[in-house]
Amino acid sequence: MNLLNSIKPAARGSWKRSVAALKQRARGMFWRSVLRSPLMGFRRFDFSGVAIGAQGEVAAERFLLGLGYVILFRGYEDKFGEIDLIAVDRDTIVFVEVKTRSTDSAGDPTEAVDHTKQRHLTRTGIGFLKWHRLTEHAARFDVIAILGRPLEGGADIKHYVNAFEPTGDFQMFG
C-alpha cells in the first residue's frame, strides 16, 4: 500500500500541500548538499567570455524594445544553428545577430559576421520560417554591434538594419 494513501488528511487538500512542501524541502536539501560538496571546489568556471556576450544580448534586446520591436525569441536554436534574437518590426520578421566586444583590439564586432556566419544565420532563419509556417512574411537579417561593457554604461551600440542578404544555397522571399 502506498504510504501517501495511508495518511488521512486533517483538512481537504492539506496533504497535497504537505507533500509539495516535503518535495520542495527535499529539492532544497539536495542542491545545498551539491553546492557544499568538496567536488565543487575543483571546478572553476570562467564565465567572463560568456558574460560579455550575455550582457550584449540583454542590451540589444532593450535597445530593440526601445525602437518598438517585439521580441519573439532569445537564443533560438535548431539543428542548423543559433540566432541571438528574433523580433518583429512592423510586419517584418527580424533575425538579429548580436556581437559584443569589450575593446576594439580584436577588431570591430561586425567583422565576426563573416560569410560562414551569414550562411548559418540564413539556414537557421529559413528553418525557423518553415517550421513556424511564416514563409509568407517578409524577413531580414540585422546585426547589432556593441563596443564596451553594455550593462555598465558607456557602450557604443550600432544597429545595422538589413545588414546582409540571405546567402548560401537557399532561397528566402520577403
Give pLDDT tens digits for 5-51.
Answer: 433 444 455 555 566 666 656 655 544 554 454 544 444 444 445 57
Is residue 132 within 8 A of residue 138, CB to CB? The reply is: no
Residues 61 and 99 in one domain: yes
- Mean residue pLDDT of the chain comes to 75
Give pLDDT tens digits for 44-72.
Answer: 444 445 577 788 888 899 999 999 999 88
Residues 21 and 87 in one domain: no
Q: Domain tally for the chain?
A: 2
Residues 22 and 58 in one domain: no
Domain, as residue range, for 27: 11-39
Rounded CA separation 91/139 (Å): 9
Q: Which residue has the higher pLDDT, 131 or 49?
A: 131
Structural domain includes residue 5: no
Residues 22 and 81 in one domain: no
Indicate whether 143 pLDDT > 90: yes
Rounded CA separation 147/158 (Å): 9
Residues 84 and 25 in one domain: no
CATH number for 96 = 3.40.1350.10
With a CB cutoff of 8 Å and minimum separation 6, the contacts of 98 are: 53, 56, 57, 60, 84, 85, 143, 144, 146
Torsion angles phi and psi, residue 48, rounded to 5? -65, -40
Q: Which three cell numbers stand for residue 131?
A: 517550421
